[in-house]
Chain A
Amino acid sequence: MEHHDEREAHPHSTREDAEASLTYFQAMEVAVRELLIEKGILTADQIRRQVEDMDGRTPARGAKVVATAWLNPPFRSRLLSDGNAAIAELGLERGPYKLVVVENTSQVHNVIVCTLCSCYPRWLLGLPPDWYKSRSYRSRMVREPRAVLREFGLELPDSTTVRVHDSTADMRYLVLPMRPAGTEDWAEEELAALVSRDTMVGVAAPTKR
């Protein structure tokens, strides 16, 4: 009986699949993919291109939207009233869902969750992190948001309202975080660098470093 060694995971953005220790679901993926290609429903090329497309989607797109809104008050207003149209102005795709941008202020802090699955503005931020999809985040963010935010290192006073958005249907949400003080004469790229994925989900606030 041959013994197959598992290849070690490489520190790339895609880990190499272990060579011969194919799990049942990995085998199913290969099988379904091959059947769909044989039936002419999809091509290998389409699948490869879609994987590459998703790889190219990082939170930088969202950060650009935020930085632009910080610099340009009329754009900010348009973004808040029609998110899809506003991001299209920047050359970004409108996206497959209605984009609702919610603005953080000193009075209101917004945070996003999808309790039922993992709805997330993927076309602007890329794939969601594991924790966003975890049972713990989905269960607790609607029940005790302040405690969960505290675990993420964000402490909010009672004078700030916490508004949780449970993305259960056809909207996708992006938090427009508060612009840090002392960044008045910063350029768009410098501002965008302050905007992490977590600030656009609402579990962190941008800070001037």
Chain B
Amino acid sequence: MKVRYAHPPGHVRTPAYVKGRQGVVERLCGTYPNPEERAYGRSGLPAQPLYRVRFRQTELWPNYRGSISDTVDVEIFHHWLEPA
């Protein structure tokens, strides 16, 4: 999957360093209310699927020093993901 490359203002829990990057869904964590909406006192419902997405460090960073198998797992909401 790919993380959407978008930079809206407001409360966003998708970190900048993974935007536009490709990763693999490691697991579905469950469904949770959307924090982007809850941040403004709204319910954040209906609950959205939340995924743990695994990124390879060597693909995220130029000159990554470490093993090619090193990874970063990030929790990302469904609406931030698109097919690669």
Complex: A in contact with B (CB within 8 Å): yes
Could you list which residues of chain A lie within 8 angstroms of chain B, going by C-beta atoms?
98, 115-116, 142-147, 158-171
Which residue of the partner chain B has the closest CB to A102? B73
Shortest B46–chain A CB gap in Å is 15
Given contacts A98-B30, A168-B14, A170-B32, contact A162 B67 (CB under 8 A): yes
Task: For A159, list chain B residues within 8 Å (CB).
Answer: 67
CA distance A165 to B72 in the complex (A): 6
Q: How many residues of B contact A (CB 8 A)?
A: 26
Task: For B60, list chain A residues within 8 Å (CB).
Answer: 142
Candidates B17, B29, B67; contact of A171 at CB < 8 Å: B29
5 A-B pairs with C-beta separation under 8 A = A163-B72, A164-B71, A166-B73, A166-B75, A170-B75
Contact A162 B70 (CB under 8 A): yes
Which residue of the partner chain A has the closest CB to B29? A171
CA distance A158 to B66 in the complex (A): 6
Number of interchain pairs (Cβ within 8 Å): 72
Shortest A147–chain B CB gap in Å is 7
Contact B17 A142 (CB under 8 A): yes
Contact A143 B66 (CB under 8 A): no
Contact A169 B13 (CB under 8 A): yes
Contact A169 B15 (CB under 8 A): no
CA distance A142 to B69 in the complex (A): 14
Shortest B77–chain A CB gap in Å is 7
CA distance A169 to B61 in the complex (A): 23
Contact B65 A168 (CB under 8 A): no
Task: For B81, list chain A residues within 8 Å (CB).
Answer: none
Task: For B17, list chain A residues within 8 Å (CB).
Answer: 115, 142-143
Contact A169 B66 (CB under 8 A): no
Contact A147 B50 (CB under 8 A): no
Contact A169 B70 (CB under 8 A): no
Contact A169 B69 (CB under 8 A): no
CA distance A182 to B73 in the complex (A): 32
